[in-house]
């Protein structure tokens, strides 16, 4: 029975994998973009600026011709696409925030694409606010080429087997067996992140060995927990590389991960809005990827230890071009040139995203992104729930509270739906409840966190 169930999981994942593989790699710009990126990475600074300017001009013209918000803005402020002649001219555009995106809604969506030729993802980012992001198919393929180059830098080749401890749901929260699924199309082993606990460390490592896994792609909190557990048992699991993403990686996490997997960690950063990418090269430096977008590092408010905020323009997502978008994340810039020979700008570290995790009574670990994902499923999987914002607060070891800001049309019945949805997503050993609030509580930095743990603040 268990065997058949597992097989079914693999087939389902592989089937889906085949579909996304065709979508991402074939019949589109992937191969071309990949070759291009292999060349452009060694352009000098001046040539990179030229590339950026060409891409920016194209983007602005496209925005002017097909995006209502930008057309209106440029007309009202008396400039046209041909007025953008240098990279600095981008400052004629306003800085956008998530709130602007939410207010304008479809105003940022290009009229060039038929709705069926776009994909919509719902992102909370760190604000917890519903935000549909549209992407066109070509941008998905281009994105994949950028990601592949990060894997190249980590010496993980296209055919290598990679294990994932990220957002993919491969087992229901209350399942205890077969907490993984294998995607044969991508050669990816997906392990259930929300089931990661003291009890699953050995089985996960064993599964990775059995599938002859060569690299791991994980949330830092998940990779760290697995690594620490292995070392505590006097074990290691040699890999080619560990790639981490979506949460802040701390130096001590990096050290433990590198020790347990006997390889280097390549941390990378991206945004659902597709405006900025930061990746780690062979020499361990964080590089801002210039062919991906135009990234401005602007002054950050408040005391911030030399950190700057990321305001970025993505070149590739033409379905929803965002010019000068304030992601809400901070980085610490770094001067100098990297030994790898690329003229890409560098940052010392990425401060932006919280790496906090919560531990359930039995020792399962839910990282910030896992929580984010639960929240996303709860709030965004139901379009008809009249909710503005939400966040999860851990009030005690075994109690999670979902706080939400409701719209006027919110009823008792909606609350019932919300409660049962939350119950379905959160491991059963945690108690859950929902609480209506007037506004989201603020964290110390004045930023909304979709996940607040009162234990850790
Ligand atoms: Zn480098």
Q: What is the pLDDT of residues 40-49, one digit of tens each?
A: 999 999 999 9
What one-character DSSP code corresponds to residue 248? P
User: How many CB atoms sit inside 10 A of residue 111's CB?
Assistant: 11
Residue 369 lies in a domain: yes
CA distance 106 to 26: 29
Q: Give residue 46's pLDDT.
A: 98
Q: Give residue 381's pLDDT.
A: 55
Cα 41 to middle of ligand 1, angstroms: 10
Average pLDDT, the chain: 87
- Domain coverage including residue 375: 357-453
pLDDT band at 384 (very low <50, low <70, confident <90, very high): low
Q: What percent of the chain has pLDDT over 90?
A: 55
Query: Phi-psi region for residue 446, left (φ > 0), alpha (ψ -120 to 50) or beta?
Result: left
Residue 44 lies in a domain: no
Cα 94 to middle of ligand 1, angstroms: 32
pLDDT band at 394 (very low <50, low <70, confident <90, very high): confident
Cα 345 to middle of ligand 1, angstroms: 9
Residue 80 lies in a domain: no
- pLDDT, tens digit, for every residue of 193-212? 888 888 899 999 999 999 99
Choose the most confident range, by mean pLDDT, from 168-177, 335-344, 398-407, 443-452.
Answer: 335-344
Instruction: Choose between 355 and 147: higher pLDDT.
Output: 147
Give the CATH number of the domain where residue 431 resides.
Answer: 3.30.300.30
Cα 281 to middle of ligand 1, angstroms: 5
Asked if residue 135 has pLDDT above 90, the reply is yes
Cα 291 to middle of ligand 1, angstroms: 15
> Where is average pLDDT lowest: 14-18, 307-311, 448-452?
448-452
Give the pLDDT mean for 311-331: 94
Residue 441 lies in a domain: yes
> Where is average pLDDT lowest: 57-66, 113-122, 360-369?
360-369
pLDDT band at 382 (very low <50, low <70, confident <90, very high): low
Cα 351 to middle of ligand 1, angstroms: 19
Residue 194 lies in a domain: no
Exposed / middle / buried, residue 181 (Cβ in 10 Å: 0-12, 13-18, 19+): buried
How many independent structural domains does the chain possess?
Answer: 1
Give the pLDDT mean for 296-315: 86
Instruction: Name residues whose C-beta falls within 8 Å of residue 133's C-beta, 6 or more positions apart in sequence.
Output: 120, 121, 122, 123, 272, 273, 274, 320
Residue 405 lies in a domain: yes
Residue 388 lies in a domain: yes
Residue 371 lies in a domain: yes
Cα 341 to middle of ligand 1, angstroms: 6
Instruction: Choose between 349 and 109: higher pLDDT.
Output: 109
Cα 69 to middle of ligand 1, angstroms: 37
Give the pLDDT mean for 388-394: 75
Q: Give residue 380's pLDDT.
A: 58
Q: Are strands 162-165 and 215-218 parallel, antiparallel or unpaired?
A: parallel
Asked if residue 374 has pLDDT above 50, the reply is yes
Instruction: Choose between 395 and 118: higher pLDDT.
Output: 118
Cα 135 to middle of ligand 1, angstroms: 29
Q: Give residue 42's pLDDT.
A: 97
Give the pLDDT mean for 138-165: 96
Q: Give residue 364's pLDDT.
A: 67
Alpha helices in 44-97 (DSSP H): 45-66, 68-76
- Structural contact between residues 406 and 386, judged by C-beta atoms closer than 8 angstroms: yes
Is this prediction's pTM over 0.85?
Answer: no
Cα 279 to middle of ligand 1, angstroms: 9
DSSP lists the bridge partners of residue 183 as 188
Cα 45 to middle of ligand 1, angstroms: 14
């Amino acid at each position: 029975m268990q065997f058949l169930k597992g097989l079914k999981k693999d087939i389902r994942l592989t089937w889906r994998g085949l579909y996304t593989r065709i979508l991402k790699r074939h019949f589109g710009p992937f191969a071309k973009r990949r070759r291009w990126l292999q060349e452009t990475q060694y352009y000098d600074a001046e040539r990179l600026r030229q590339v950026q300017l060409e891409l920016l001009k194209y983007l602005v013209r496209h925005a002017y011709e097909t995006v209502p918000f930008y057309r209106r803005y440029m007309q009202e402020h008396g400039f046209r696409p041909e007025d953008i002649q240098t990279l600095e001219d981008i400052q004629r555009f306003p800085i956008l925030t998530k709130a602007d995106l939410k207010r304008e809604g479809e105003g940022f969506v290009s009229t060039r694409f038929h709705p069926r030729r776009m994909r919509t993802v719902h992102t909370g980012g760190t604000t917890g606010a519903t935000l549909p992001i549209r992407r066109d198919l070509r941008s998905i393929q281009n994105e994949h080429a950028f990601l592949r180059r990060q894997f190249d830098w980590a010496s993980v080749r296209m055919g290598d087997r990679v294990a994932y401890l990220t957002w993919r749901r491969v087992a229901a929260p209350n399942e205890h067996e077969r907490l993984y699924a294998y995607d044969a199309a991508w050669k990816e082993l997906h392990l259930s992140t929300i089931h990661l606990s003291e009890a699953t460390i050995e089985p996960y490592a064993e599964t990775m060995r059995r599938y002859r896994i060569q690299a791991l792609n994980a949330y830092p909190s998940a990779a760290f927990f697995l690594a620490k557990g292995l070392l505590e048992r006097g074990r290691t699991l040699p890999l080619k590389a560990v790639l981490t993403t979506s949460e802040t990686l701390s130096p001590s996490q990096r050290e433990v991960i590198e020790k347990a997997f006997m390889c280097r960690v390549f941390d990378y950063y991206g945004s659902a809005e597709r405006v900025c990418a930061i990746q780690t090269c062979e020499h361990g430096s964080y590089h801002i990827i210039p062919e991906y977008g135009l990234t401005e590092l602007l002054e950050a408010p408040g005391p911030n230890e030399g950190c700057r905020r990321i305001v970025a323009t993505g070149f590739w997502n033409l379905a929803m071009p965002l010019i000068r978008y304030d992601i809400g994340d901070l980085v610490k810039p770094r001067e100098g040139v990297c030994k790898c020979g690329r003229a890409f700008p560098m940052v010392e570290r990425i401060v932006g995203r919280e790496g906090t995790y919560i531990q359930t009574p039995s020792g399962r670990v839910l990282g910030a992104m896992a929580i984010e994902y639960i929240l996303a499923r709860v709030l965004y999987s139901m379009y008809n729930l009249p909710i503005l914002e939400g966040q999860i607060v851990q009030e005690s070891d075994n109690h999670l509270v979902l706080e939400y800001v409701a719209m006027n049309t919110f009823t008792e019945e909606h609350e019932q739906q919300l409660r049962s949805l939350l119950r379905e997503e959160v491991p059963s050993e945690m108690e859950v409840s929902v609480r209506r609030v007037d506004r989201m509580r603020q964290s110390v930095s004045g930023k909304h966190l979709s996940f607040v743990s009162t234990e850790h603040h």
